[in-house]
């Protein structure tokens, strides 16, 4: 069938909701939306906190539209520095979320979608509300155990109550790790064991790059091995422990930190001044990141074991390192050890112990032949198993099952 303008009618419509920024900065949402659109399904992503109702086309059949959430800026104008006071901030967050929910329900209802999908818990309430209004299925991609993320500690009981209320109303739940899936089944009442979909990036061919090496050489920095930390810089990711570990790195081993700071670490370069083995670089555009990653020798990703969201972490960064051929130093957590040491692509260490981190890095730096084997295995396993093209298959099948009754 074709539409009035002669274009093929979509095989279905999916509306994705997120409380965060544009999906262009959210790999799980971006990759899924592009994959659904490639099958002929029309996808619209709605997100709050945007400055205006701007539409952004991410691929043919996949568009993102933002709507403004103005409470936060209004509170800054009204209260100035006092907006950071815990009580004022709490009221601001509550009103800001209420504004998001109302506007998201209105915008989502207008899409007349066949399936509504929430990415993370704040977006689940409007997704469930509009799905009930329209009699359509709702899918929940729980990328985090939201009540156990550090940014939500003050409101943990509120978010846990939201999960317990809303998860049983979802037709499907998807998590990036089977341990988190078990939590959503046993503690939050999911109707069935959630589908596990890891946050793997789309497959890229091996990339030869000297970008970081050239940059360090241009700065006159002497090095033999580049250890790369890429992503958000904050204490939750053990940046303090990693910084201390650099004091015990072997001669010639240099740590490059590439990414934006967060919270008290908004200026990582200032916080890390005095560490001779650390080079801090600003965030780079996502489409340029691979050339930086591929030019390092070792990739490091760490999380503090102080909440289950971290303990059962499933970071897309791990698969980005594998796809770039980097041996990995990772935390010795149950969801990570099978992927890193089980697949033979790196070593795991206690992320709370700088000495253990340094020992893991030095072990790899001293074994170039072992690193070459890890690189080959990482590239092969990324191609054979840990890429979005393969990981997304059951998720796309789940969407087909949800859409099928709507096509009758």
Tell me, yes or no, whether 164 lies in a domain: yes
Tell me, yes or no, whether 292 lies in a domain: yes
* pLDDT number for residue 87: 67
- The structural domain count of the chain equals 2
408 residues of the chain, pLDDT tens digit each: 333 345 566 889 999 999 977 777 788 899 999 999 999 999 999 998 766 567 788 889 999 998 888 777 676 677 677 666 676 666 777 888 899 999 999 999 999 999 999 999 999 999 999 999 999 999 999 999 988 886 556 688 889 999 999 999 999 999 999 999 999 999 999 999 999 999 999 998 888 899 999 999 999 999 999 999 998 898 889 999 999 999 999 999 999 999 888 778 888 889 998 899 999 998 888 778 889 999 999 999 999 998 898 899 888 899 999 999 999 999 999 989 999 999 999 999 999 999 999 999 999 999 999 999 999 999 999 999 999 999 999 999 999 999 988 766
* pLDDT number for residue 152: 54
Tell me, yes or no, whether 63 lies in a domain: yes
In this structure, the answer to whether residues 228 and 353 fall within a common structural domain is yes
* pLDDT number for residue 405: 83
In this structure, the answer to whether residues 142 and 228 fall within a common structural domain is no
* pLDDT number for residue 3: 39
In this structure, the answer to whether residues 397 and 372 fall within a common structural domain is no
In this structure, the answer to whether residues 225 and 360 fall within a common structural domain is yes
Q: Which residues on neighbouring strands pair with residue 347, listed in sequence order? A: 329
Tell me, yes or no, whether 7 lies in a domain: no
Tell me, yes or no, whether 205 lies in a domain: no
Task: Quote the domain boundaries for residue 331.
Answer: 211-384
In this structure, the answer to whether residues 149 and 47 fall within a common structural domain is yes
In this structure, the answer to whether residues 125 and 86 fall within a common structural domain is yes
CATH of the domain at 318: 3.40.50.2000
In this structure, the answer to whether residues 129 and 152 fall within a common structural domain is yes
Tell me, yes or no, whether 6 lies in a domain: no
In this structure, the answer to whether residues 166 and 254 fall within a common structural domain is no
Tell me, yes or no, whether 4 lies in a domain: no
The burial class, CB within 10 Å (0-12 / 13-18 / 19+), for 243 is buried
In 190-331, beta strands by DSSP E: 195-196, 225-230, 253-258, 278-281, 298-300, 328-331
Measured in degrees and rounded to the nearest 5, phi and psi for residue 278 equal -120, 130
In this structure, the answer to whether residues 187 and 248 fall within a common structural domain is no
In this structure, the answer to whether residues 371 and 397 fall within a common structural domain is no
């Amino acid at each position: 069938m074709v539409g009035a303008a002669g274009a093929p009618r979509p095989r279905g419509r999916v509306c994705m909701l997120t409380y965060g920024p544009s999906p262009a900065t959210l790999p799980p949402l971006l990759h899924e939306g592009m994959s659904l659109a490639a099958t002929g399904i029309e996808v619209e992503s709605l997100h709050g906190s945007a400055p205006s109702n701007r539409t952004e086309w991410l691929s043919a059949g996949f568009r993102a539209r933002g709507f403004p959430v103005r409470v936060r800026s209004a509170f800054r104008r009204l209260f100035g520095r006092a907006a950071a006071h815990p009580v004022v901030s709490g009221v601001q967050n509550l009103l800001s979320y209420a504004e998001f929910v109302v506007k998201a329900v209105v915008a989502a209802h207008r899409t007349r979608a066949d399936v509504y999908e929430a990415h993370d818990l704040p977006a689940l309430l409007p997704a469930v509300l509009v799905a009930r209004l329209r009699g359509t299925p709702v899918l929940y991609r729980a990328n985090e155990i939201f009540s156990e993320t550090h940014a939500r500690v003050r409101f943990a009981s509120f978010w846990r109550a939201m999960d317990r209320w809303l998860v049983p109303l979802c037709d499907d739940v998807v998590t990036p790790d089977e341990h988190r899936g078990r939590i959503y089944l046993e503690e939050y009442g999911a109707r069935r064991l959630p589908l596990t979909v890891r946050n793997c990036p789309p497959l890229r061919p091996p990339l030869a790059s000297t970008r970081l090496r050239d940059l360090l050489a241009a700065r006159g920095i002497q090095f033999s091995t580049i250890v790369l930390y890429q992503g958000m810089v904050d204490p939750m990711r053990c940046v303090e422990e990693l910084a201390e570990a650099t004091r015990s790195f072997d001669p010639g081993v240099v740590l490059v930190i590439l990414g934006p700071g967060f919270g008290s670490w908004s200026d990582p370069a200032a916080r890390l001044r005095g560490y001779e083995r650390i080079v801090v670089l600003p965030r780079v555009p996502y489409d340029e990141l691979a050339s930086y990653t591929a030019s390092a020798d070792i990739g490091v990703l760490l999380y503090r074991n102080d909440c289950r969201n971290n303990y059962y972490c499933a970071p897309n960064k791990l698969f980005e390192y594998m796809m770039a051929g980097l041996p990995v130093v990772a935390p010795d957590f149950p969801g990570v050890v099978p992927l890193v040491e089980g697949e033979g692509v790196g070593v795991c260490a206690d992320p709370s112990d700088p000495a253990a981190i340094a020992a893991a890095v030095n072990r790899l730096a001293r074994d170039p032949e072992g690193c070459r084997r890890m690189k080959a295995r990482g590239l092969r396993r990324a191609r054979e198993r840990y890429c979005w093209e393969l990981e997304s298959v059951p998720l796309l099948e789940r969407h087909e099952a949800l859409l099928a009754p709507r096509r009758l």
